[in-house]
Structure 1
């Protein structure tokens, strides 16, 4: 299934993409896509509904974030060897973890706002994992059974805040809107192999990132297993899994986002995002 949320910001309805490509409205039939609304039982309830029996979303409806709310928003750094190289950092021997603020969550096609004081806002196309059932000390072999779905994430970053001064990655990753997620939440049965997905990001119409999840240092199943050793993952938690090379920080000279820039990014089978960069108002 391809699950989606649509409507005005803060008032989105849950929906499903029907076989004909139309978005169908699930409001009133199932809970919104957060917490218990993402468990296996909740998804099975959706599977039992014929999408064509549902009303269609209004034509041109805004697409919201594919989940309504995030508990933990966990990110993995340097998870592609070639990205580590462009960052002048060693390939990690175990996953590098940090948090994004849950209110980083943003819609896939809404404007990206450069935070006040930012001078080095950067882009990162990433595969995101959305957890569907409580995971604590799970095995790598069973890890993917804990997944509600996969989605595209743009792990936006402010590199000066991340790496300069006292550093700390969370400072450069947690601004409002720094986690566009969607357009769809794609259930695992739709993905033949999550470790064989092409991914890309275009800046102002020019391809800057090209990659494939096959080159991840640590795959999706291992990441769930590894993270669950340290704390409990709950339904609705998001893990964003690292980016291939081609970020602005790695260019010579570096290139950072400025008002008027556009980004288009996507992952095979998971859809695409399209964003325009704007200045912070006021």
Structure 2
């Protein structure tokens, strides 16, 4: 169950009415890795196998889908538990960053104990983008229809994978913006599909959202909100194309390392 109806009162200037409101379900999801409690995320309890897969990849606990031996989600009395088993070559990583604390829906750097751990290695620069502004506008035109839970509740974020033409191939929703992107990245890994067009998110573009896009080997990250300075610096350092404030009538090219959106005579970053 990802939503439920709650009784509410609608208060206007001249009257008060009773009604029902569809509310997004938020639940604690405990992630255990090789028998060790690693994180408790507040999340929408759906697509948990994809979520745990993406989480393991973006946390650098696994490098590829082949490093994940098994994922077992189950409902407990207090919430949900997802047990992740890694193959032997990755088992030592959990002991390097083990801890167990509760994270809210804004958490995007789980398992980080000190500032020196924020800048985690990125395997390779982002591939050059092949989708243009026409593809971005095409995806934006269809994004709302691909967010049924948000349409019902108005309370969740979405993350979509788009092909080079702007066709949306998959969308995941969650009360946490990082969780939605982890679900999408996990699904891409499970399906062994490349993020060959661009990733489209309904949130601000922060450092950790850029970092997750780099793990997914996405050529471009597009967001409907604004970027932060760390997001821009991280993207620029690893040649990830970033588009922000994406609207049906305009987009903002923030980081354009290949000159995809450059006018005649302009040089790439």
Query: Where is the helix percentage greater, Structure 1 or Structure 2?
Result: 2
TM (norm. structure 1) is 0.24
TM (norm. structure 2) is 0.25
Higher RCO (CA-CA < 8 Å; seq separation 6+)? 1
